[in-house]
């Protein structure tokens, strides 16, 4: 299908993203008492998430998409798009919260080790007529430098979402693990609530996805039981709610419906949970072993783990969600 009426369709997509942002704000203000049963919550939420996909164009080749990406109308429209199996999907509206959190995570990776090449807004071709623009990627530095035409082979991909849905973030996992990627981290920032709080969620996916075997942590466990169990890498390894508000029940239902084990959804999930209120809280750290970032061998001098303190991410996001929002009033 030819890419035509570009300006008009991009404007429609932008308006839909703004409308979805308003719907997200309404969802954030809803309460658990509005649900009926856990089963209906999951069904309702999954349907809602799927229906939020905004298709700008269909039947688009990779070559035509790349040409479209370079044309002026897309830059003027001020939205993020990706090619997914021949469909051009609008998924994110630029915002200060999205941009600053992505930038800070890129700086954190770069400062952790100078043996990583850290790239922002990197195009990743995943096959199946698909190409994504990842917010942050990093790969081991190569010596000598690669030849011209080399395509990045990231070991970690980070996506930061404000408009983008949980369903969209979750759908990226299979394609991101189709190449060299070992770690995929998704950060979802939900809208500011009327009381100036905001829910946030960090979702970690691992290519080699192993979680502790609960059967091994009981008195007198069976002999020769494995301390870890393997799960599909399309299932989150862990999801941590780290905002200043607990995640809405619909968000929790969607995460649980991915197949994640119940004990791997942690943090400020319910109002009686301990929230993330300061730096260094043990339950609000994401620890990534260095050997996952350097699968070919960890260079001398590189720390054992790359650690993200989610309190720092929370504070950076809140500044742009709350402080700047009040400045504009």
Residue-level pLDDT at 49 = 52
Tokens representing residue 8 in the block: 């008009």
Q: Contacts from 323-327 at CB under 8 Å and sequence distance 24+?
A: 324/96, 325/192
- The answer, as to whether pTM is greater than 0.85, is yes
Residues in Cβ contact with 208 at an 8 Å cutoff, skipping those fewer than 6 apart: 182, 230, 233
- Residues of the chain with pLDDT below 70 are 1-4, 31-51, 323-329
Residue-level pLDDT at 98 = 94
Residue-level pLDDT at 33 = 39
Residue-level pLDDT at 3 = 63
Residue-level pLDDT at 35 = 43
Paired sense of beta strands 116-127 and 130-140, if any? antiparallel
Question: What residue has token string 């850290």?
Answer: 118
Tokens representing residue 286 in the block: 């994401």
Residue-level pLDDT at 32 = 55
Which numeric CATH code is attached to 94-328? 3.90.1570
For residue 183, how many C-alpha atoms fall within 13 Å in the half-sphere facing its CB?
23
Residue-level pLDDT at 114 = 94
Question: What residue has token string 């969209």?
Answer: 168
């Amino acid at each position: 299908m030819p890419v035509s009426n570009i300006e008009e369709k991009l404007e429609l997509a932008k308006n839909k993203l703004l409308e979805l942002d308003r719907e997200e704000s309404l969802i954030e203000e809803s309460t658990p008492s509005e649900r009926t049963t856990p089963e209906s919550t999951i069904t309702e939420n999954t349907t809602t998430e799927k229906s939020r996909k905004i298709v700008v164009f269909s039947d688009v080749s990779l070559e035509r998409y790349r040409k479209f990406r370079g044309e002026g109308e897309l830059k003027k429209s001020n939205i993020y798009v990706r090619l997914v199996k021949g469909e051009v999907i609008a998924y994110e509206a630029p915002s200060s919260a999205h941009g600053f959190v992505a930038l800070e995570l890129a700086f954190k990776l770069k400062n952790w080790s100078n043996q990583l090449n850290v790239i922002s807004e990197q195009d990743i071709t995943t096959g199946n007529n698909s190409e994504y623009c990842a917010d942050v990627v990093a790969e081991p530095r190569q010596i000598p430098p690669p030849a011209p035409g080399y395509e990045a082979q990231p070991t970690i991909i980070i996506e930061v979402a404000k408009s983008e849905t949980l369903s969209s973030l979750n759908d990226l996992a299979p394609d991101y693990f189709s190449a060299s990627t070992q770690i995929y981290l998704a950060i979802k920032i939900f809208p500011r609530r009327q009381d100036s709080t905001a829910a946030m969620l960090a979702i970690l996916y691992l290519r080699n996805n192993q979680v502790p075997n609960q059967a091994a942590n009981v008195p007198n466990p069976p002999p020769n039981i494995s301390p870890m169990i393997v799960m599909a890498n399309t299932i989150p390894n862990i999801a941590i709610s780290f905002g200043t508000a607990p995640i809405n029940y619909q968000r929790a239902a969607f995460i649980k419906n991915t197949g994640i084990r119940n004990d791997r959804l942690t943090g400020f999930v319910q109002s009686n949970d301990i929230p993330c209120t300061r730096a260094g809280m043990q339950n609000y750290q994401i620890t990534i072993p260095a050997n996952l970032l350097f699968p070919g061998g960890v260079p001398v001098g590189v720390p054992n783990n790359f650690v993200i303190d989610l309190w720092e991410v929370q504070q950076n996001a809140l500044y742009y969600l709350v402080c700047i929002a009040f400045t504009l009033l």
